[in-house]
Structure 1
Amino acid sequence: MIVSEPREDIAAWVGGKIGVAFHPPFTAIAQVQGGRIIAGYVFNVWTEHDVEVSLAADRLSKTLMRAAFRYVVDQLGCRRATFRTRADNVPAQRALERLGARLEGRQRNYFGDCDALLYGILKEDFPYGLNTEGA
């Protein structure tokens, strides 16, 4: 089941997984299975055309990815989403690339003990978009 409330709980779960704390305003969605969160997105720093997206997952489904895409494009009206991941988190980098994100840069010591890699994904590059419903 995909849920968007309680968003503070989702943000705390995602933040705990990636080692950051989120401060309002933000929104969030998660996939819940067996009463527990298995994956979640937090959306913050909305700038009309772009939103910063944080993701954590024990298991990531196409259903949740499509829901996140719909939220970014349809609800927020954004043309792109920005992601940051730890430079030492190779599985997250691979997952972002599978989503259609492209590496755009590096932020030194962003996580304190590690650099961040900055990824961006454009509306037209998202492989699980509205036009791939049957994929």
Structure 2
Amino acid sequence: MSSGSSNLYSDQGLVIPTYRAGRARPDGTLAPVGYFAGRGEWTHPEGVLMVAEVTSHDSGTRRRDHDDQRVAYATAGIPVHLLVDRDTDSLLVHSEPDGDTYRLCRSYKYGETVAPPSPVGITLDTEKLKDYAG
């Protein structure tokens, strides 16, 4: 997916000092086109617009996907954290990072149109996610 002057990068490594060994690899990272060029496998997230994660189906998923990653991304100042929650067939959009939390969280069901807040600048049609639910 790309939108205007931003692009969704998969598996880009981010330096997040408060997460695990100081490294995170989001499922998707929205950043300006070319932002990661020449920066190597691991880069600081200052220019990142949004990270996107999809919940896993393993024993540690609830704590890691809903808590640990959210806290780490907020602490890093990433403006928007989008979580696709496969257990509840919903998307959670966290925004306005403030310390180790996000001030706002909005939930959307699969099928709704999602317009994450600035600086993201894209609209997501989540209808197709229904095909993967269940």
Q: Which structure is higher in helix share?
A: 1
Which category of TM-score, normalised to the shorter sequence, fits these structures? Answer: 0.3 to 0.5
Please, what TM-score do these two structures have when normalized by structure 1? Answer: 0.36
Please, what TM-score do these two structures have when normalized by structure 2? Answer: 0.36
